[in-house]
Amino acid sequence: MTITLHHHTPLVVCSNAIRTCWQSFDKSDNGGEKDRELIDRVGNKFKHSSTLEHLVYTFYLAGISRALLQELARHRIASLSVKSTRYTLKELKNEESFAVDDKKRASKYLVFTDEQIVDEMSIKALENLRKVLKKGISNDKAKYCLPESYKSELTWTINARSLQNFIALRSDKAALWEIRELAKLIYNTIPEDHQYLYVNALKSYD
């Protein structure tokens, strides 16, 4: 799994949105310590969290499973543009057959777990999908054979209020292991001067 931050809103945009309410623009320090404290005080401590929606992040997520993609879809206040199986399954069509012990080559297409039998069955499903594609079945129908472990990529845009909720829920030990990893990677990818907004949402555990 790899994460790239394509865009983020400067903190001063959020602090200026807050200062709009009191017309206190003259107190801004252009996203510095005073503005950071203001955002935390109003957005977090005073619970006027709608002000955090002025901060927006756009990430490129690669190498995630379709199982994780389904979990992401539950976070509705976010925008997803996902790699299309309709147009991209052809990349699998010309591969040589996959043996169940061929994890290195299959890892181009699959996310593996720490359960051997699950990973072997995923490779078998991948091989079945390859065979279907070789028979000339359309991608629209062949994709019904896709295993949940099949890798996908997407551009994901989310505001700070929703991202706090995402990190709080998905870094919890009850969350899917793969999305826990994603939540922590997302936190580490956020600009350092933004991380203070999420540190209380991030769960830590043994």
Is the pLDDT reported for residue 75 higher than 60? yes
Q: Which fold has domain 2-80+152-197?
A: Gyrase A; domain 2 (3.30.1360)
Ramachandran bin of 63, using left for φ above 0, alpha for ψ from -120 to 50, beta for the remaining angles: left
The pTM of this model reads 0.92
Widest Cα–Cα separation across the chain: 68
Residue 102 clears pLDDT 80, i.e. is over it: yes
19 in catalytic set:
no
At 132-175, the pLDDT tens digits run 999 999 999 999 999 999 999 999 999 999 999 999 999 999 99
Q: What is the pLDDT of residue 99?
A: 96
Q: Give the model's confidence band at 179: pLDDT under 50 very low, under 70 low, under 90 confident, else very high.
A: very high
Output phi, psi for 52, to 5 deg.
Answer: -70, -15
Backbone angles phi, psi at 111, to 5 degrees: -95, 125
Choose the catalytic residue: 41, 130, 170, 180: 170
Q: How confident is the model at residue 205 (pLDDT cuts 50, 70, 90)?
A: low
Q: What is the residue-wise DSSP string for 100-156?
A: TT-HHHHTTTB---S-HHHHHHHHHHHHHHHHHHHTT--HHHHGGG--TTBEEEEEE
Q: 116 pLDDT exceeds 50?
A: yes
Question: Is residue 14 within a helix (H) or strand (E), and if so which, with residue range?
Answer: helix 11-22
6 pLDDT higher than 90: yes
Rounded mean pLDDT of the chain? 94
Q: Domain map of the chain by residue range?
A: 2-80+152-197, 87-150
pLDDT value, residue 206: 44
pLDDT at 62: 98
pLDDT digits (tens, 9 = 90+) for 7-22: 999 999 999 999 998 8
